[in-house]
Chain A
Amino acid sequence: MTDNLKRQVAVTGIGIISSIGVTAAEVSDSLRLGRSGIVMDPERKSLGFRSGLTGKVKVVNPAAYGLDNKALRTMGEPALYGHCAATDAVAGAALSPELLGSGRCGLVFGNDSCIRSAAEAVDILRKEKGTRFVGSGRVFQGMNSSVTMNLGVRLGIRGACWTLSAACASGAHAVGQGVMLIRSGLQDVVVTGGAQETGWESMVAFDALNAFSLREDAPQKASRPFDRGRDGLVPSGGGACLVLEDLEHALKRKAPIRAVIRGYGFSSDGKHLSVPSSEGSERAVRQALDDAGIAPEMVGYINAHATSTPIGDAAEAKMINRVFGTAVPVSSTKSMTGHECWMAGASELIYCILMAEGGFIAPNINFEEADPDCAGINVVSKTHTGKVRYVLSNSFGFGGTNAAIILDFDINRIRGEL
């Protein structure tokens, strides 16, 4: 498909709940200032976790997002965070109840676990020797599709409504699928994003992989993508929502245009469950570039997937060097947020949008000593000011699933191309 035949997909609303803020303004400040959201959680240590480090999301008031007790009975952490982010995104995009319920508006979120609810249900069964005290809500809290089933009903969605699970690329692939649904003409608007629970229950099995950082004496220094001293990731989470919309549709109703998604690329390594192949991620990135119709040198900033693991960061650095060379600024916002896993691919697009709107590139904090294994890329360790047009966001996940998304911030030029 060539550009002139392709429906362009705009981002017309954003909402973000994360460890570095629960409003777009707060998150934007954190990104600019290089503020970390990582803390030490003593409960995890007392329970027997190898690492007690985690991103900490501020407590949100559900009533402020229109949620009463009845609503909360069917919503665990992922559904709650997804709902809060979506409330802000839908309000920002000024989506009317009529448009949301028109059947031309869909809902696709990335999520890959709701462990707390399942663990609670099993605990109750074991204690009570029966299921009757489990209650009515836990099944709706505990399914991976908890986010979209709760949110779909509350928003009155009558089009596409499902959850996509693809490990730590779930959020990015959910946005990618939203793009495809709009380009194909099947939907005009797709409310999309990702959610990630932060409770310790969700990280028990992940902690057992020895993948988490052990720099517990300095939590805010623990996540250090590309740095020579990195020793693992820090789990984190929250909710991220982007309203995607056919650009013409958005312009017609005078919706705010925050960005245009110019390219989406996906691939799978087909090799190993946990060891990434930089060949697979390269294919995803090149596919996104082809889809956007741009050359690598036109990309002005790369928001890396880099999670602060020795192997993963090195593989991504090699891939970036092969495709883009040494000049393009690169940072991993996971240095501040920790790894937001299922939602990372969606939240990091929002971080890119906030950077573009604020005229800066967020720093890769804690990048203090270059690692020869990550040589040949331009890691931004301090906040840069300036505008960029094309931004690439990478997301990779267990099982070797890869996603790459290219945002275009030259809204006026795109408007003129229509």
Chain B
Amino acid sequence: MTREQLASEINAVLAAQFELKPESLQDPETKLNDDLGLDSLDAIDLVVTMEKKFGCRILEAEAREVRTLSQLYDCVHKAKSP
């Protein structure tokens, strides 16, 4: 799976789980908290959802550093192919 395909799948999951408009997920530099309104509780569910969807394990320390969509794509990508 290319990074673009992964990004597209992650965006689809975000849109469905957090009821976000797809157009709000176009810019990779979009901030999860400031721009999309996802809070620390959402972050917990986001990590679990990504792990289940992509069959990977995301380290807590790495998840904590994620601020933008781009960083999220990288984080999941890394977890999928360690």
Q: Point out residues on A near B: beta carbons under 8 Å.
A: 68-70, 73-74, 132-133, 135-137
Q: Which residues from B are CB-within-8-Å of A132?
A: 47-48
Known: A69-B17, A73-B45, A136-B44. 17 other contacts (CB 8 A): A68-B19, A70-B18, A70-B42, A73-B41, A74-B41, A132-B47, A132-B48, A133-B48, A133-B52, A135-B44, A135-B45, A135-B48, A136-B41, A136-B42, A136-B45, A137-B41, A137-B45
The answer to whether B19 touches A69 (Cβ under 8 A) is: yes
Query: B17, B19, B41, B42 — which one has the most chain A CB atoms within 10 A of its CB?
Result: B41
Q: Which residues from A are CB-within-8-Å of B42?
A: 70, 136
Within 8 A of A (CB), among B1-37: 17-19
The answer to whether B18 touches A69 (Cβ under 8 A) is: yes
6 A-B pairs closest in CB distance: A136-B41, A136-B44, A136-B45, A69-B19, A135-B45, A68-B19
Q: Which residues from A are CB-within-8-Å of B19?
A: 68-70
Q: List 23 A-B contacts (CB under 8 A).
A: A68-B19, A69-B17, A69-B18, A69-B19, A70-B18, A70-B19, A70-B42, A73-B41, A73-B45, A74-B41, A132-B47, A132-B48, A133-B48, A133-B52, A135-B44, A135-B45, A135-B48, A136-B41, A136-B42, A136-B44, A136-B45, A137-B41, A137-B45
Q: Which residues from A are CB-within-8-Å of B41?
A: 73-74, 136-137
CB-nearest residue of chain A relative to B18? A70
Interface SS of chain B: helix, strand, loop or mixed?
helix
What's the Cα separation between A68 and B16 when bound, in Å? 12
Q: Which residues from B are CB-within-8-Å of A74?
A: 41
Q: Which residues from B are CB-within-8-Å of A73?
A: 41, 45
Q: Which residues from B are CB-within-8-Å of A136?
A: 41-42, 44-45
What's the Cα separation between A154 and B42 when bound, in Å? 17
What's the Cα separation between A74 and B30 when bound, in Å? 26
Q: Which residues from B are CB-within-8-Å of A69?
A: 17-19
What's the Cα separation between A70 and B40 when bound, in Å? 13
CB-nearest residue of chain B relative to A139? B41
Q: Which residues from B are CB-within-8-Å of A135?
A: 44-45, 48
Q: Which residues from A are CB-within-8-Å of B44?
A: 135-136
Query: A70, A133, A135 — which one has the most chain B CB atoms within 10 A of its CB?
Result: A70
Q: How far in angstroms is the closest Cβ of chain A from B36?
A: 11
What's the Cα separation between A135 and B48 when bound, in Å? 7
Q: Which residues from B are CB-within-8-Å of A68?
A: 19
What's the Cα separation between A69 and B18 when bound, in Å? 7
CB-nearest residue of chain B relative to A69? B19
Q: How far in angstroms is the closest Cβ of chain A from B51?
A: 8
What's the Cα separation between A279 and B5 when bound, in Å? 73
Q: How far in angstroms is the closest Cβ of chain A from B78?
A: 18
CB-nearest residue of chain A relative to B57? A132
Q: Which residues from A are CB-within-8-Å of B18?
A: 69-70
